[in-house]
Amino acid sequence: PSSRSTELLSPPTLRLDRENICAIGRLWSLREIRSLYLQQNQIEKIENLGCFPNLRFLSLSGNRIRRVENLQPLRHLRVLDLSHNQIQTLDPDELPRSLWLLDLTGNECTHQHGYRERVLGALPQLLQLDTQPVREEEEEGGSSGSEDEDNESLSEPSGPFTADKDFFADLQQELAGRSWRRRREALSEHRARLEELETLRERQALLLSPSEE
């Protein structure tokens, strides 16, 4: 319903979690949205996300997704949560190379032979995979050419990961009329992700600092 869309359209975050959504419909262009929450729905297919060209954070956990697809238009995506779906096999080429954090826990694809190596090979900027930090074994080898790219990534505006008072005011408004339990769950989920990404960014800064000697 249009009233529901208007209520939840509070840039830069859009919450549509736990709404029994079965499919991601076609929407008008929502360029300002940086964080999109679609977890705990009934979604079976990743589609129609091209209207969020500036998306940094996408949660699709707890759905019925069987295949990773149609994510290439999200060229700025940093965090992707696809945990606890029904993904049997994974083609790493379908994942945006811009990802810093990827979570596929609870999917059958994580048991594929060579799964972790294939994903890390396809995602050069990944800092965490399935709640486990990525070890920078090639850091000593000759990755100096990528340091400028990593520094540029770190210097980008933090967008959805800035937990300022305006963000929580918007989130409070989006959740108006819902139960206190659901409100607390939504806030704790976002805060946990914020803390997780901040830890990763601090770790990356420590890895890059020796190059300044």
**Residue closest to 78 by CA, chosen among 161, 151, 14:** 161
Which domains are present in the chain? 13-135 (3.80.10.10)
Whole-angstrom Cα distance, residue 67 to residue 88? 7
pLDDT at residue 49, rounded to an integer: 93
Residues 67-99: tens digit of each pLDDT: 999 999 999 999 999 999 999 999 999 999 999
Residues 138-169: tens digit of each pLDDT: 443 344 343 333 333 333 333 333 333 444 44
Question: Is pTM, for the whole model, over 0.75?
Answer: no
Kindly report whether the peptide bond that precedes residue 12 is cis, defined as omega within 30 degrees of 0.
yes
Please return the burial class of 136, using the count of CB atoms within 10 Å of its CB with bins 0-12, 13-18 and 19+. middle
| Mean per-residue pLDDT of the chain | 75
